[in-house]
């Protein structure tokens, strides 16, 4: 039997459910997180003891020492931190599945922290495209690549905004 395995898990900041659910499933099967890449999409597991663990992500670009202490005091274990402010926590449980966000307002605040970082970068990307890339680059491949990046960024920004809008309606 293999002692380690590596998995690719795609997830988005506004919807961490695929990551969190997969990690919980792996923990139930006895796979323990061993190593996580900087973007938290390639995760290496090692064989361990099956556990019922809740995994939860948060985005906190300027986390204080108190931030981590609050999680630790509540029994959460820091599994990974990276990608400019992302945190992955886990907590063993038996009865009720624990949550780090107990209301929609907290989720909206998390998404607003993401948007606060995305908006200036998005504006900069558009300005660079219009002022530098379009006039200089005549090569269709590079223009296409930049348009793809701009489209992807637009998609991400829009999805976070739409997710917040849905959460506000549910309040």
Per-residue pLDDT of the chain (171 residues; tens, 9 = 90+): 689 999 999 998 888 999 999 999 999 999 999 999 988 999 999 999 999 999 999 999 888 889 999 999 999 999 999 878 999 999 999 999 999 988 889 889 998 988 888 888 888 878 877 777 666 666 777 778 778 888 888 898 899 989 999 999 887
The pTM (predicted TM-score) of the whole model is 0.80
User: What is the Cα Rg of the chain in Å?
Assistant: 19
Strands, DSSP E only, in the chain? 4-8, 31-36, 42-47, 53-59, 77-82, 86-92
């Amino acid at each position: 039997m293999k002692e380690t395995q590596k998995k690719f898990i795609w997830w988005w900041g506004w919807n961490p459910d695929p990551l969190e659910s997969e990690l919980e499933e792996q923990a139930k099967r006895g796979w323990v997180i061993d190593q996580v890449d900087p973007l938290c999409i390639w995760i290496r597991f090692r064989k361990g003891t099956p556990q019922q663990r809740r995994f939860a992500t948060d985005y906190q670009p300027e986390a204080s020492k108190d931030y981590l202490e609050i999680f630790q005091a509540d029994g959460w274990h820091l599994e990974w931190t990276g990608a400019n402010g992302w945190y992955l926590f886990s907590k063993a449980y038996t009865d009720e599945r624990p949550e780090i966000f107990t209301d929609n307002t907290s989720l909206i605040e998390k998404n607003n922290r993401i948007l606060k970082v995305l908006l200036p970068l998005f504006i900069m990307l558009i300005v660079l495209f219009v002022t530098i890339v379009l006039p200089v680059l005549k090569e269709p491949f590079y223009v296409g690549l930049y348009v793809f990046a701009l489209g992807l960024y637009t998609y991400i920004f829009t999805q976070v905004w739409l997710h917040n809008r849905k959460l506000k309606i549910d309040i």
